[in-house]
Structure 1
Amino acid sequence: MAASTNKEVAKELLPLIRVYKDGSVERMMDSPYVPPTLDPDPQFGVSSKDVTISQNPAISARLYLPKLAQPHQKLTVLVYFHGSAFCFESAFSFIDHRYLNILVSQSQVLAVSIEYRLAPEHLLPAAYEDCWTAFQWVASHRNRNSINHHDHDHQNHSNVINNKEPWLLNHGDFERLFIGGDSAGGNIVHNIAMKAGEDDQESLLKEGTGVRILGAFLVHPFFWGSGPVGSESDVSDNYDHKKRLEYLIWEFVYPTAPGGIDNPMINPVGSGKPSLAKLACSRMLVCVAGKDSLRDRGVLYVNAVKGSGFGGEVEFFEVKGEDHVFHITNPDSENAKKMFNRLASFLTK
Structure 2
Amino acid sequence: MASITTDTTKHIISEIPTYITVYSDGTVDRPRQAPTVSPNPDHPNSPSKDIIISQNPNISARIYLPKVSHSETQKFSILVFFHGGGFFFESAFSKIHHEHCNVFVPLANSIVVSVEYRLAPEHPLPACYDDCWNSLQWVASNSAKNPVNAEPWLINHGDFNRVFIGGPSSGGNIVHNIAMRAGSEALPNDVKLVGAILQQPLFFSSYPVGLESVKFKSSDKDLYSSVWNFVYPSAPCGIDNPMINPVGIGAPSLDGLGCDRMIVCVAGKDGLRERGVWYYELVKKSGWKGKLELFEEENEDHVYHIFHPESESAHKLIKHLASFLHE
Name the TM-score, length of structure 1 as normaliser: 0.88
2:37 to 30, 34, 39: 34
Distance in 1 of aligned mates of 2:295 and 2:18 = 29
Residue range with higher mean Cα deviation, 290-299 or 241-250: 241-250
**1:16 corresponding residue in structure 2:** 19
User: Using a 3 Å threshold, how does the CA distance of structure 1 residues 314 and 145 change in structure 2: closer, same or farther?
Assistant: same
Q: Does the Cα contact within 8 Å between 1:144 and 1:169 map onto a contact in 2?
A: no
Task: Say yes or no: does 1:99 pair with 2:79.
Answer: no
Q: Which residue of 1 aligns with 2:140?
A: 139
Once residues 323 and 339 of structure 1 are traced to their aligned partners in structure 2, the CA distance between those partners, rounded to angstroms, is 13
Partner residue of 1:191?
177
Distance of 2:67 and 2:146 partners within structure 1: 27
Measure the CA separation in 1 of the matches of 2:47 and 2:310.
21
The answer (yes or no) to whether the contact 1:6–1:20 under 8 Å persists in 2 is: no
Q: Is the 8 A contact 2:103 2:310 kept in 1?
A: no
Q: Distance in 2 between matches of 1:11 and 1:257?
A: 17
Q: Is the 8 A contact 2:64 2:111 kept in 1?
A: yes
Q: Where in structure 2 are the equivalents of 1:190-339 lying within 5 Å? A: 190-199=176-185, 201=186, 209-235=189-215, 240=218, 244-269=222-247, 272-339=250-317
AA aligned to 1:36 is: P
CA distance in 2, matches of 1:297, 1:61: 29
Deviation at 1:57, TM superposition (A): 1.0
Counterpart amino acid of 2:67?
Answer: K
Q: Percent identity of the aligned residues?
A: 56
Deviation at 1:346, TM superposition (A): 1.2
Shift of 1:209: 2.8
> CA 1:105/1:5 → structure 2, altered by over 3 Å: closer, same or farther?
farther
How many angstroms does 1:241 deviate by? 7.4
Q: TM-score, structure 2 length as denominator?
A: 0.93
Select between 11-20 and 123-132 the one with higher mean Cα deviation. Answer: 11-20
Partner letter of residue 46 of structure 2?
Answer: V
**Aligned partners of 2:272 and 2:51: how far apart in 1?**
33
Counterpart residue number, 2:159: 173
| CA 329–288 in structure 1, closer or farther in 2 if over 3 Å, else same | same
Distance 1:289 1:233 in 2: 18
Q: Is the 8 A contact 1:227 1:241 kept in 2?
A: no
Secondary structure of the 1:321 match is coil
C-alpha spacing 1:164/1:272, structure 2 compared with 1 (3 Å) = same
Cα shift at 1:235: 4.9
Distance 2:221 2:263 in 1: 30
**3-state SS in 2 of match to 1:105:** helix
Checking the alignment, whether the CA contact within 8 Å between 1:223 and 1:267 is kept in structure 2 is yes
Assess if the C-alpha contact under 8 Å between 1:75 and 1:108 holds in 2: yes
Shift of 1:333: 2.2
Residue 283 and residue 235 in structure 1: after superposition, are their counterparts in 2 closer, same or farther (change >3 A)? closer
AA at the equivalent of 1:305: V
Question: Which residue of the partner structure matches residue 68 of structure 2?
Answer: 68
In the alignment, structure 1 residue 46 sits paired with structure 2 residue 46: yes
Number of corresponding residues: 320
Residue 78 of structure 2 aligns to a residue in which SS? strand
Q: Tell me the distance in 2 between the aligned counterparts of 1:5 and 1:235.
A: 45
Consecutive unaligned residues of structure 1, counting only runs of 5 or more, are: 147-161
Cα offset for 1:271? 6.7
The aligned residue for residue 153 of structure 1 is none
Could you tell which deviates more after superposition, 265-274 or 12-21? 265-274
Root-mean-square deviation (CA, aligned residues, Å) is: 1.8
Question: Would the aligned equivalents of 1:177 and 1:213 in 2 still touch at CA under 8 Å?
Answer: yes
Tell me what 2:4 maps to.
none
1:144, distance to aligned residue in structure 2 (A): 2.2
2: CA distance between counterparts of 1:51 and 1:262? Answer: 36
Residue type of the alignment partner of 1:102: V
Partner of 1:151: none
Structure 2 unaligned blocks of 5 or more? 1-6
Preserved CA contact (<8 Å) 2:242 2:249: no
8 A Cα contact 2:87 2:231, kept in partner: yes
The separation in 1 between residues aligned to 2:180 and 2:233, in whole angstroms, is 22
